[in-house]
Amino acid sequence: MTMLIALFWRDLRRAWGSGALWLPVLFFLLVATAFPFAVGPDTPLLQRAGGGMAWVAALLAALLPIDRLVRPDRDAGVLDQLAVRGVADEVIAAVKIGAHAVGFGLPLLIALLPASALLAQDAGRMETLATGIAIAIPALASLAVLSAALTAGLKGGSAIGGLLVLPLAVPLLIFGAGMLDPSGRGAIKLLAAVSLLLTAIGPFAAGAALRGLRE
């Protein structure tokens, strides 16, 4: 247990250390700032499209740091040292998913506040957005760690990392953005189901990928 806590804090410290805490926040706000300029001064249109844009930005913010989630640990020998101590790859993956969920998820939810204003989302829509993104954060972290583990052994792998998990992220986007539609009553349940599924398979899939890195 001490070991799991030590691993979790190390990952979180590295995620937030040296100003990296603000990276997903800045990225998220950048998209929220640029989007209204691109759409033009049509408030109803911005309101309709803004929620979907926030979802796309949240997905990309989760995938932003995939090149520092696994590869530095592999290169520094940290993964080998943990394996020598008999720590299961699935456990390492689960801790990394948890730390990434907190590491990018918390700042993202805070950034959602100003972003909603920029995207002309009213209080009700903002609440729906925040609920949906909060539900999806573990799944987004799971996908990020999975693609980081799959591409850690490749040169320039992070570029294809996003492409790898995009098909898996599509249901999150559909149901997440669907929650904002007045007719999308069941969307939150489907979103929660997809998020649960992705979060549950994440540690096993990413753990298998970590094992593959050693061969």
Partner 1 sequence: MVLLRFDRVACIRGDRLLFEELSLALAPGEALWLRGPNGAGKSSLIRVAAGLLRAAAGTVERFGRVALIDEAAALDAELPLRRALDFWARVDTVDGHTVDRAMEAMALHPLAEVPVAMLSTGQRKRAAMVRVIASGAPIWLLDEPANGMDDAAQARLVAAIAMHRANGGAVMLASHFALGVPDLADLDMGARA
* Binding interface with partner 1 (CB under 8 A): 2-3, 5-7, 10, 14, 17-18, 75-78, 80-86, 214-215
Instruction: Please state, in angstroms and rounded to a whole number, the distance separating the CA atoms of residues 165 and 69.
Output: 15
Instruction: Please state, in angstroms and rounded to a whole number, the distance separating the CA atoms of residues 176 and 179.
Output: 5
- Enter the DSSP assignment of 70: S
CB of 15 to partner 1, least distance (A): 13
CB of 77 to partner 1, least distance (A): 3
> Quick one: 185 or 214, whose CB is closer to partner 1?
214
> Quick one: 70 or 168, whose CB is closer to partner 1?
70
- Which amino acid, residue 22? W
> Quick one: 18 or 183, whose CB is closer to partner 1?
18
CB of 192 to partner 1, least distance (A): 34
Which of these, 55, 59, 74, 99, lies nearest to 150 by C-alpha position? 74
Distance of CA 5 to the CA centre of its chain: 21
> Quick one: 76 or 113, whose CB is closer to partner 1?
76
